[in-house]
């Protein structure tokens, strides 16, 4: 922690140089924990940000906080920046009503904001609970992820890191990542999953900490949109082969259903497993899975169907546990799953797999048949791609 009590007054290491702090320490100044009143020691190393630590850790609320060097440095950098912008900025601010310590608390003319810097992985329900706690008290939480991320051609995110994904109509699904070691944020925009944990995105935009404001605004809109449509089939096939490889035991429920229907998994039509931009993100399962369910539950029956009936079919799959939503606690999108269904049906309509019969109703243009051998699949490919290219032009 960066704050302590000295004679019942808040003392913050940030306001002093290392030399000042060393002098204060050798003068024998006594530091107390603001939360549990027990004694604190002042640590002034060469690498780490000077900070306080408990002499003994018996049952203090701060114990739960991760106080890695990265966390301390993040707190210091963000505090310095926000303190230069706003009058009322507090470090390690305890909120009695919800028994939580906000890393940084900012009160502007019209808002209260709690900055939560997260270096360690915590359970997502805990993150949700803390978020609700803030909201109940009229405070907007701002979660900041500082864990290292892995990125090659794709950005790899753990379930916990995915929980920091947010949404805006301009940036689509985006992730703001803080790198205290370079005093900057990296902003990854237009994220789109190609598997459970891998995402397409362009190289991140770097935003120096001394340019950030609250609410967060993106300094220049020179953002590149990745084009998931062009790469989708490569990743779709990769996913299919992986699934086949890992299912040597034959226990995969999805594959059992496909085989039970007499369909060939390797030759599923190409319109099963399409990227539905942007809200396809919401479903954790691969598109092949949930789109196959839609086809089986709604389209195959040859009768007319509506967005509503397809949505209800998909929702039933959700309730039965065949599909799962991605854990995105910072995103509240009304009608999320309905939007996914709408997006998918409009792709199918563009590909002339389905057609409108009136305002509300659709039907399949041809009776379904899954290619059952390679040459039939090749013919399907040959028919599919010109139509797909036509759709690409419109995107
Ligand atoms: Zn304490």
**Are 58 and 38 within 8 A, CB to CB?**
yes
Compute the distance from residue 66 Cα to the ligand 1 centre, in Å. 13
Question: What sign results for the dihedral spanned by CA atoms 177, 180, 185, 188?
Answer: negative
Is the pLDDT at 343 greater than 70? The verdict is yes
Question: Which one has a higher pLDDT value, 391 or 25?
Answer: 25
Give the mean pLDDT of 88-95: 92
Compute the distance from residue 56 Cα to the ligand 1 centre, in Å. 9
Q: Which residues surround ligand 1, an ion (CB under 5 A)?
A: 33, 35-36, 60, 62
Architecture (CATH level 2) of domain 66-224: 3-Layer(aba) Sandwich (3.40)
Compute the distance from residue 72 Cα to the ligand 1 centre, in Å. 16
Is the pLDDT at 216 greater than 80? The verdict is no
- 266 Cα distance to chain centroid: 30
* pLDDT value, residue 220: 56
Decide: helix, strand or coil at residue 199.
strand
Q: Do β-strands 198-200 and 166-168 pair in parallel, antiparallel, or remain unpaired?
A: unpaired
Question: Which one has a higher pLDDT value, 2 or 228?
Answer: 2
Compute the distance from residue 40 Cα to the ligand 1 centre, in Å. 8
Give the mean pLDDT of 344-352: 94
Is the pLDDT at 215 greater than 80? The verdict is no
Compute the distance from residue 15 Cα to the ligand 1 centre, in Å. 21
Model confidence over 269-306: pLDDT tens digits?
A: 999 999 998 999 999 999 999 999 999 999 887 689 99
Compute the distance from residue 122 Cα to the ligand 1 centre, in Å. 20
Compute the distance from residue 102 Cα to the ligand 1 centre, in Å. 15
Give the mean pLDDT of 244-263: 88
pLDDT interval class at 250 (50, 70, 90): confident
Compute the distance from residue 44 Cα to the ligand 1 centre, in Å. 19
Q: Which helix (H) or strand (E) holds 348?
A: helix 336-350
Side-chain half-sphere exposure of 282, counting CA atoms within 13 A = 23
* pLDDT value, residue 68: 84
* pLDDT value, residue 377: 93
pLDDT interval class at 48 (50, 70, 90): confident
Is the pLDDT at 11 greater than 80? The verdict is yes
Query: Cα separation of 362 and 109, whole Å?
Result: 51
Compute the distance from residue 24 Cα to the ligand 1 centre, in Å. 21
Compute the distance from residue 152 Cα to the ligand 1 centre, in Å. 41
Domain limits of the chain? 1-64, 66-224, 228-394
Model confidence over 124-134: pLDDT tens digits?
A: 999 999 999 99
Query: Is the backbone of residue 354 left (phi > 0), alpha (psi -120 to 50) or beta?
Result: beta
Compute the distance from residue 134 Cα to the ligand 1 centre, in Å. 22
Compute the distance from residue 98 Cα to the ligand 1 centre, in Å. 17
Residue 175 phi/psi, 5-degree rounding, is: -135, 130
Q: What share of the chain is helix, strand, coil (3-state, %, to 5)?
A: 40, 20, 40
Compute the distance from residue 1 Cα to the ligand 1 centre, in Å. 9
Instruction: Give the list of residues 6+ apart from residue 160 with CB closer than 8 angstroms, or none.
Output: 121, 122, 124, 147
Is the pLDDT at 221 greater than 60? The verdict is no
Compute the distance from residue 267 Cα to the ligand 1 centre, in Å. 61
* pLDDT value, residue 176: 94
Is the pLDDT at 42 greater than 90? The verdict is yes
* pLDDT value, residue 222: 58
Please, what is the average pLDDT of the chain?
90
Compute the distance from residue 148 Cα to the ligand 1 centre, in Å. 28
Compute the distance from residue 62 Cα to the ligand 1 centre, in Å. 6
pLDDT interval class at 341 (50, 70, 90): very high
Is the pLDDT at 36 greater than 90? The verdict is no
Model confidence over 301-326: pLDDT tens digits?
A: 768 999 999 999 999 999 999 999 99
* pLDDT value, residue 280: 94
Compute the distance from residue 93 Cα to the ligand 1 centre, in Å. 13
Residue of 371, 175, 151, 365 whose CA lies nearest to 262: 371
Compute the distance from residue 5 Cα to the ligand 1 centre, in Å. 11
Compute the distance from residue 4 Cα to the ligand 1 centre, in Å. 9
* pLDDT value, residue 174: 94
Query: Cα separation of 322 and 292, whole Å?
Result: 12
Q: What is the pTM of this model?
A: 0.88
pLDDT interval class at 164 (50, 70, 90): very high
Q: What percent of the chain has pLDDT over 90?
A: 67
* pLDDT value, residue 64: 61
Question: Which one has a higher pLDDT value, 303 or 77?
Answer: 77
pLDDT interval class at 247 (50, 70, 90): confident
Query: Cα separation of 338 and 285, whole Å?
Result: 16
């Amino acid at each position: 922690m960066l704050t302590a009590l000295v004679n019942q007054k808040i003392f913050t290491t940030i306001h002093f140089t290392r030399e000042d702090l060393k002098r204060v320490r050798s003068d024998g100044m006594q530091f107390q924990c603001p939360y549990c009143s027990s004694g604190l020691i002042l640590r002034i190393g060469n690498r780490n940000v000077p900070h306080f630590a408990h002499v003994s850790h018996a049952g203090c609320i701060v114990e739960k906080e991760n106080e890695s060097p990265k966390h301390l440095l993040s707190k210091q950098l963000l505090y310095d920046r926000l303190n230069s912008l706003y009058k009322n900025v507090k470090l390690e601010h305890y909120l009695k009503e919800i028994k939580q310590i906000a890393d940084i608390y900012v009160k502007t003319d019209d808002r209260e904001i709690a900055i939560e810097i997260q270096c360690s992985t915590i359970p997502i329900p805990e993150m949700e609970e803390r978020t609700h706690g803030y909201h109940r008290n009229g405070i907007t939480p701002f979660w900041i992820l500082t864990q290292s991320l892995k990125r090659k051609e794709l950005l790899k995110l753990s379930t916990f890191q995915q929980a920091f994904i947010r949404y805006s109509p301009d940036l689509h699904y985006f992730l703001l990542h803080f790198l205290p070691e370079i005093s900057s944020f990296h902003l990854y925009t237009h994220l789109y999953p190609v598997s459970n944990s891998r995402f397409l995105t362009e190289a991140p935009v770097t935003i120096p900490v001394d340019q950030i404001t609250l609410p967060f605004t993106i300094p220049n809109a020179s953002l590149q949109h990745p084009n998931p449509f062009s790469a989708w089939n490569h990743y779709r096939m990769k996913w299919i082969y992986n699934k086949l490889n890992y299912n040597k035991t034959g226990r995969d429920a999805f594959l059992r259903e496909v085989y039970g229907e007499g369909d060939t998994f390797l030759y599923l039509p190409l319109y099963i497993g399409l990227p539905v931009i942007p809200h396809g993100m919401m479903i954790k399962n691969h598109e092949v899975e949930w789109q196959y369910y839609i086809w089986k539950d709604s389209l195959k029956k040859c009768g007319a169907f509506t967005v509503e009936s397809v949505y209800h079919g998909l929702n039933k799959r959700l309730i039965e546990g065949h599909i799962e939503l991605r854990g995105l606690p910072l995103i509240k999108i009304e009608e999320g799953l309905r939007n996914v269904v709408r997006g998918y049906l409009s792709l199918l309509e563009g590909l002339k797999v389905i057609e409108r019969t009136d305002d509300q109703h659709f039907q399949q243009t041809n009776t379904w048949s899954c290619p059952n051998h390679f040459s039939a699949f090749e013919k399907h490919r040959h028919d599919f791609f010109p139509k797909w290219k036509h759709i690409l032009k419109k995107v």
